[in-house]
Amino acid sequence: MKKENRPIIGVLGVPTYDDEEDSLIAIYNGVKNALVKKGCIPFMICPLLSIDYSNTKLSDIPDLTKEEKETYREMIDICDGIIIPGGYRIYNFYEYVVKRAIEKNMPVLGTCLGMQVLAKVDNGFNCLEKNETNINHVKKQVKYVHKVKILNDTLLKGIINKDEIEVNSKHSYHVSKVNNFKVSAYSEDGLIEAIELPDKDFVVGVQWHPEKMIDYDENANKLFDRFVYECLKNKRNK
């Protein structure tokens, strides 16, 4: 891919700690590596307040100010697409960036918690429930954990072109319902595994981690390739 054609992908930063317990904002290596491998330029969209996001209750994080929203809009405008990565908490800046990106019809890909962020933005409230099925959905460093059935007449089906695939899995909670989004896949035990927004070009959430499967799974590559294609299209149309 020529340098001038490389899409800039905004990745929402994840608050965490280093070995000395200093607060920091990070991008998962799996997400960064997948984007670089696909010829993209990763760009972190970081929170703006000078607080320890990891150690502050979500209810104690102030609402976004007008100035902060403007800064997030400027960061979004730099990007050709947005990735909402996995993680453990849904921050208010996540929700604002996602809403703004959807309004602009930007390509958005949410993985694991990222799909849950999309569902929360869609419903306007937390629609997550604890997993209580016969499948253990929390297995780290396992290539394939369970099967996923992809529904007909969905964007995901058009991308993957298969009725059923195998995926990895690292989530303790699942999305219980959607509103404007459309369910595009279920796991074997009936949990929602993928959602998409029908009236947008590419707003897709998957409950698994395709970025961790890039080196060995064709379906993960199909999903990322389509995301990058949509980002390139958005870049050209700016």
Active site residues: 112, 209, 211
Using the 8-state DSSP alphabet, how is residue 62 labeled?
Answer: P
Residue 127 has a CB neighbour count (10 Å cut-off) of 18
In a 13 Å sphere around the CA of 145, the CA atoms on its Cβ side amount to 22
Q: Which residues pair with 11 in a beta bridge?
A: 44, 83
Q: How far apart are CA 167 and CA 150, in angstroms?
A: 12
* C-beta separation of 215 from 168 below 8 A: no
User: Residue 151 contacts by C-beta under 8 Å, 6 or more apart in sequence?
Assistant: 157, 183, 184, 185, 186
- The angle formed by the CA atoms of residues 53, 93 and 107, to the nearest 5 degrees, is 130
* C-beta separation of 168 from 142 below 8 A: yes
Q: Is the dihedral of CA 185, 137, 113, 168 positive or negative?
A: negative
What is the dihedral angle through the alpha carbons of 37, 193, 113, 41, rounded to the nearest 10 degrees? 20
